Amino acid sequence: MTIRQARLRRRQTILYIAVAAVVILFLGVYGTYRLDLQPAAGSGGSQRFEVKAGERAPQIATRLKEAGLIRNRNAFLTYINFHGLRTRLKAGVYALSPTKSGQTIARLLTDGRVDAKRLVVPEGSKLADIEQLAARHGITATDFKAALAAPHSDAFLSGKPATVSLEGYLFPDSYQIESNTTAAMLVNTMLKTFGQRVGPEYVRAFAAQGLTLHQGLTVASIVEREVSRPEDRPVVAQVFLKRFREGIALGSDPTTDYAAALTGVPFNLSLDSPYNTYRYAGLPPGPICSPGLPAMDAVARPADTSYLYFLSDKTGKTHYTKTFAEHQRNIDKYLR
């Protein structure tokens, strides 16, 4: 072997060694990087972690590390930078666990999978019912009542008498509840939903029946609590509208039951309350529940009939009559 060949071989050997060292170093660094993306702990429950609006990725990574949710701040930043996620981290409150990998946590933050639950408010719910539902999500009764009593400037509330509550105006729907949702936020969201769903078309439709929005909502709430079958709602709405126009007491059990609940006494047809529609003619001061759109539609477009009375028998079927004598016979026939 010539001297030249020996030098060439030595250079090749050095190159191989250098390449091997780089490969070993890379594998070591990569292995450490992958290890640092593993879950920070093998056990542990979820904890609340808030990404604030405008917060930058390095700040988020630092707080994740301080909270014990990730193993290594730099590994987390490297991952989101390499995968183009740095500017996609979304503000919100998250439920994160140290048992999740760095990759998983990054994806949760970029997908905006906030810690949220659903508050489902059924049609026909009263404020007392909504208060209980909210309590299951950590909103206290005291805070809920305070949110109801706070000033509200929604335009559709302008026709609501100041002496009545927001009963009927918290729209029955499904609402997202995050861990930082306050009573005020919930109430305002429900009012906003009412404004979006019960728009000018209902104002016009109620006006065509000689009703204000508040009156139409009040009648709809009674219809909501009286009957549940879709085919009955327009007819029952017609009955109450006809009785209202003719000055006949509505005679609705649900309104009287509402009056009893307000005063904390048992159901009593002689109860002295403006919500007792057996004792007082006309509409009660306000809604007795949050009616759904089908009940509002029934009031906006009542059936073309002339009934004045109705009752539901023990099977749930509704029977209608035009005279009190006929109604009395139905009582004897179906309810006794």
3-state secondary structure 133-201: HHHCCCCCHHHHHHHHHCCCCCHHHHHCCCCCCCCCCCCCCEEEEECCCCHHHHHHHHHHHHHHHCCHH
Q: Are strands 116-120 and 318-321 parallel, antiparallel or unpaired?
A: unpaired
Give CA–CA dist 317/323, Å, rounded.
19
Whole-angstrom CA distances from 128 to 135, 186, 257, 262, 289 are 11, 15, 14, 10, 9
H runs (alpha helix) in the chain = 3-36, 57-66, 73-82, 102-111, 127-135, 141-149, 183-197, 200-208, 213-226, 233-245, 253-263, 293-300, 324-334
DSSP-derived secondary structure letter, 119 = E
DSSP-derived secondary structure letter, 48 = E
Q: What is the pTM assigned to this prediction?
A: 0.71
Q: What is the radius of gyration, based on Cα positions, of the chain?
A: 33
Q: Are strands 174-178 and 116-120 parallel, antiparallel or unpaired?
A: antiparallel
Which one, of 102, 50, 93, lies nearest residue 73 by Cα? 102
Q: Are strands 318-321 and 309-312 parallel, antiparallel or unpaired?
A: antiparallel
Residue 331 in tokens: 């009582």
Contact criterion met (CB below 8 Å) for 305 and 236: no
Contact criterion met (CB below 8 Å) for 15 and 58: no
Contacts of 145 (CB under 8 A, 6+ apart): 131
Contacts of 281 (CB under 8 A, 6+ apart): 247, 248, 249, 250
Contact criterion met (CB below 8 Å) for 184 and 136: no
Q: Are strands 318-321 and 47-51 parallel, antiparallel or unpaired?
A: unpaired
CA-based end-to-end distance of the chain:
121
Phi, psi of 170 (to 5 degrees): -90, 105
Contacts of 302 (CB under 8 A, 6+ apart): 209, 234, 235, 237, 238, 241
Question: pLDDT (tens digit, 0 to 9) for every residue of the chain, 336 residues total?
Answer: 677 666 667 777 666 665 655 656 655 556 778 888 999 887 777 788 888 877 899 999 999 999 999 999 999 999 999 888 888 888 877 889 999 999 999 999 988 777 777 889 999 999 999 999 999 888 999 999 999 999 999 999 999 999 999 999 999 998 988 878 999 999 999 999 999 999 899 999 999 999 999 999 999 999 999 998 999 999 999 999 999 999 999 999 999 999 999 988 998 888 999 999 999 999 999 999 999 999 999 999 999 999 999 988 888 889 999 999 999 999 999 887
